[in-house]
Structure 1
Amino acid sequence: MSPASLFAVVLAYFALLLGVAWRTSRNATNDSFFIGNKNSNWLLVAFGMVGTTLSGVTFISVPGAVGRDGFGYLQIMLGYVLGYVTVAFVLLPLYYRLKLTSIYHYLDVRLGRRSYQSGAAFFILSRTLGASARLYLVVNILQATLLDSLGVPFWATALVILAMILLYTYDGGVKTIVWTDTLQTAGMLAGLVACAAFLLHAQDLDVAGALARMDGQGLSRVLTLDVHSPAYFWKQVVAGMFITIAMTGMDQEMMQKNISVRTLADAQKNMVLLTVILTAVLALFLFLGGLLHLYAPVAGVAAKGDQLFPAIVMGHLPAALQLVFFIALISALFPSADGAITALTSSVCIDLLGIARRNDLSEAQRVRLRRRVHLAFCALFLALVMVFKWIASPSMIGVILKLAGYTYGPLLGLFAFGILTRRTVDDRMVPLVVLAGPALCWLIDLWQGALFGSYRIGLELLVVNGLLVMGGLFLISRPSGKSAPYPLKCCQKLNFNKE
């Protein structure tokens, strides 16, 4: 299929998104933008969150990594399931009882204003870096496979895509994203299934035969039992669990959609359904990765890692499958950025600028302020995408998980301390503690050979970071002077532990 035809498909897809945005954002308010008027359908939220959770990184990097790691990602997936259960039955009841718009208000209620602002600031840092890295990956694939041949520069591609995202999220926010993410998830999964079915047919294999051949080539290995390896089974399971707790349950983007559902019971059903669908979809991504690695030697494809899937599609699949691939790729692109920019706008407006608390602002002024913040984040994403282009890595999923270990660790430590202890912190010292945790992790990572010998820290860096922050909070805390209830009960009193 010609680049011009594929580009026309991109434009048609975007026109469809704009139509959905126009339909859902009519009469939208700040309440619509931030929490979807608390009226989102839980089935739509669950399905749409699959696309947000997976993004373009999963679509490209997980299949590409099978050649190196086999099906080892299943170890992390087991941890994901445990993490989602924790989010559904520990964190969501907390957020619903507090009736939160921003989940970081819990830190204000439990620990204090500086803790609240520190948590929000680390979310903003985490989501900005992670989402812009995801966006870069997919923009780079679109550029290399389509737009370079049309003479479009990389910076123009990134600018136009961010302008598209701005147009359909500018007014509707969460109210719009619940619907557009559902559409985009459907497109991504259709592409995944179609490509896997074609590769099975092209190699004259059924599912059982493909798995047997993958096993014969060492592509389907799952367990790593070497305790010194970064991919050791228990390290991966524990890391997967805490990655989910931190990057879903303590992430405003993910929880913003959850708390837009009317009731706690529906939000919990959403999380359970998300877990089931996500597990099946990730398993299918690994299967597709195995098929790609079986097909590559036969077709003479030398590409590896993130480049493998696009190279096979553009060089060896028929035009119809190329079209499906591009729809799926675009569908994976938008959820990685639209929800992030919306959630970041919400967090800055609510947590840092206090838009809901300022009586000196009219509703029109609040809307104007929110729109300016939204525009600023689009500009920041463009700048960061250009930075990632400059320092490109062969596997962006590794970069993103590494960043998450440093930036989500403080959130994990703050929430864990608030939920698991009854102590009162010196709130003024909290910003120093949450900065010290990542700094110590960087030193540990740098000197781990001298500290641990042959043992290598992998994804558990997130857990180490959280424990360091939690330990630091313990050092600047004291026993509560009153009979403090457990945090799930403290939600009944919004002035708990505040002095």
Structure 2
Amino acid sequence: MNPVDLAIVVAYLAAMPIIGVLVGRRQKSANDYFVGERSMPWWAVTLSVVATETSTLTVISTPGLVFGSAFLFLQVAFGYIVGRTIAAFVLLPKYFKGNYVSAYEFLGKRFGRGLQGTASVTFVVTRLLAEGLRLFAGAIPIKVILDHYGIHTAYWHIVVLLTALTVVYAFVGGIKSVIWVDVIQWSLYVLGAIGAVIFLATKLPDGWTTIAADQGRFKLTDFTSNLLTQPYAFLCAVIGGAFLSMASHGADQLIVGRLLSCRNLRDSQRALIGSSIVVFAQFALFLVVGAMLWVYTGGKAGKTAMDIAAGKGAPDDVFPNFIVNELPVGLAGLLIAGILASTMGALASALNALSTSTIADLYQRFTKKNVEDSKLLRHGRMWTLIWAVVFAAFASLFTDSKDPVIQQGLGIVGYTYGALLGSFFLGLMIKRARQADAIVAFACSVVGMAFIILFVKFDKATAAIHIQFGANTKSLVALATFWYTLLGVVITLVVGGLMALRHRTPDPNTLETEPPQEEAAVS
């Protein structure tokens, strides 16, 4: 490996834990550890949210989308703007009014501790699957890059190293460290992408945009594809993207925890809506890189070593192959560090979110004790360390990178997001619904979505529905993934709404006032 590139990567790996510890080393309380005493500037939270939702696979795979679906993914990103705007004005006010540190505390206040615990456990399991597998998936391109430079190592070595470096600042500094390091990490991979654009611009012929446009590489919308089975059909992408974003950024503690660290509701709304605009621009940037790579390679991704290592199609590997083989010294190191940054940023956010949810939704609620603040802080740090070990162990179990469970794990939120978001809507919209109604509706949504995802297929020609229990045939395809969250929400509302008809009066919990902020504890 070139000494300059190696120095950049090593400097990054050494600097992130140090910066994180320096920023957050003086934790005063559990409230400081979990929500930064609600003192974080909204613009930093905006960038932290974007860094949290950006994984290694996002960075390396988005440019490859241009080879198959042009710029159609921006339809989904537009749906993100719609969904996050709705979440900002419907869900965030409830969290700030209750002075919560966890999104699921709202469910506990509205329905009871049973649903709060159910939602929290669901979040924990979902994050373990999604983030653990994402951590392993993030090690795949890193290993291939290291192998290319003659540095041969096992996947679990990379997983353990990344986890150890990340947990240092997440353990010591809590949410403050996570947010400020996220800002640096976001800047790193975006600067790397901009550098790739500048470099490619010097290599492409004049009029490259016309070449790409003539071949449909800048296509933005799709109004002709099947709405049920094609994820980039316009209504599927926009509506599905909106509900997916409402769930991920309004009902998932991974993101909500960052938003609750803002100084007030207005700043939190700015951060959430701002993140949708930034992520739209970020996707556009990576898609521009993809369009330039399409012209640069003549529209042929080629067969690379990454195909064999990752078991994926070549378009997913165009960008990392370009980084390894084509970029000049220095810029290659910057982008490799950016790939590491996206993995560490997502992991740090998951560790903090899981620690917060474990303490606020499970430990503090079900022990029913008035625990002193210093003890909560110790427990918060302890659970950060515990979840780091669990993540590293879970991700290290996977040694066969061709196993399709990786991609299935990354889409695991399809099983649960509808139930989570639907529970919030059930509490807001159906006043008669009680805790038992909500728990039954939650369970029906998770089970129903599992059945739909695994067994419900559609005929490509007629769009007729088939229940497929055996091996799938080429003529049958699954429901487009962007519909999963909306469908899960519908199931939750229908089941919960029907069960609520048993009651003649509103749930007494809906008549209670939210606790004033000065009386609220850590929870």
TM-score, normalised to structure 1, is 0.89
Residue equivalent to 2:319: 309
Residue equivalent to 1:21: 20
Per-residue CA deviation, residues 64-84 of structure 1 (Å, 9 max, x unaligned), is 222122211011112111011
Shift in CA distance, 119/355, structure 1 to aligned 2, threshold 3 Å: closer
Shift in CA distance, 462/350, structure 1 to aligned 2, threshold 3 Å: same
Per-residue CA deviation, residues 306-332 of structure 1 (Å, 9 max, x unaligned), is 322111111122222211211221221
Counterparts of 2:99 and 2:392, CA distance in 1: 34
Q: How far apart are residue 366 of structure 1 and its match? A: 3.0
Counterparts of 1:413 and 1:156, CA distance in 2: 40
Q: Is the 8 A contact 2:134 2:410 kept in 1?
A: no
Q: How far apart are residue 300 of structure 1 and its match? A: 7.6
220-229 or 33-42: which moved more? 220-229
Counterparts of 1:356 and 1:175, CA distance in 2: 27
Report the residue type matching 1:452 in the other structure: I
Shift in CA distance, 447/34, structure 1 to aligned 2, threshold 3 Å: same
- Specify which of 444, 449, 457 is matched with residue 479 of structure 2: 457
Per-residue CA deviation, residues 11-35 of structure 1 (Å, 9 max, x unaligned), is 3113222232222223213222210
Residue equivalent to 1:442: 450
Report the residue type matching 1:367 in the other structure: L
List gaps (5 residues or longer) in structure 1: 495-499
Shift in CA distance, 82/400, structure 1 to aligned 2, threshold 3 Å: farther
Residue equivalent to 1:127: 127
Q: How far apart are residue 391 of structure 1 and its match? A: 5.5
Per-residue CA deviation, residues 468-487 of structure 1 (Å, 9 max, x unaligned), is 12222223324665567997
Identity of aligned residues (%): 24
Counterparts of 1:121 and 1:476, CA distance in 2: 23
* Residue 226 of structure 2 corresponds to residue 217 of structure 1: no
What value does the CA root-mean-square deviation take over the aligned residues?
2.8
* Residue 413 of structure 2 corresponds to residue 418 of structure 1: no
Counterparts of 1:488 and 1:70, CA distance in 2: 51
Report the residue type matching 2:35 in the other structure: I
- Specify which of 336, 349, 355 is matched with residue 326 of structure 1: 336
Counterparts of 2:433 and 2:438, CA distance in 1: 11
Report the residue type matching 2:479 in the other structure: I
* Residue 10 of structure 2 corresponds to residue 11 of structure 1: yes
* Residue 395 of structure 2 corresponds to residue 382 of structure 1: no
Per-residue CA deviation, residues 417-474 of structure 1 (Å, 9 max, x unaligned), is 112221222x346445423322222322313237626785112022112211222222
280-289 or 297-306: which moved more? 297-306
Shift in CA distance, 153/227, structure 1 to aligned 2, threshold 3 Å: closer
Q: How far apart are residue 342 of structure 1 and its match? A: 0.8
Q: Is the 8 A contact 1:162 1:378 kept in 2?
A: yes
Residue equivalent to 1:473: 496
* Residue 390 of structure 2 corresponds to residue 368 of structure 1: no
3-state SS, counterpart of residue 449 of structure 1:
strand
Per-residue CA deviation, residues 36-89 of structure 1 (Å, 9 max, x unaligned), is 111111121112222122232221121122212221101111211101111211
Q: Is the 8 A contact 1:305 1:395 kept in 2?
A: no
Shift in CA distance, 197/175, structure 1 to aligned 2, threshold 3 Å: same
Report the residue type matching 1:100 in the other structure: Y
Report the residue type matching 1:9 in the other structure: I
The correspondence of residues 25-64 of structure 1 with structure 2, limited to 5 A, is 25-28=24-27, 29-64=29-64
Q: How far apart are residue 168 of structure 1 and its match? A: 1.1
Q: How far apart are residue 356 of structure 1 and its match? A: 9.8
Q: How far apart are residue 347 of structure 1 and its match? A: 0.5
Q: Is the 8 A contact 1:114 1:430 kept in 2?
A: no
Report the residue type matching 1:12 in the other structure: A
Report the residue type matching 1:414 in the other structure: S
Shift in CA distance, 171/487, structure 1 to aligned 2, threshold 3 Å: farther
3-state SS, counterpart of residue 151 of structure 1:
coil
Counterparts of 2:509 and 2:45, CA distance in 1: 30
Q: How far apart are residue 219 of structure 1 and its match? A: 2.2
Counterparts of 1:429 and 1:182, CA distance in 2: 41
Q: How many residues align?
A: 488
Counterparts of 1:328 and 1:152, CA distance in 2: 20
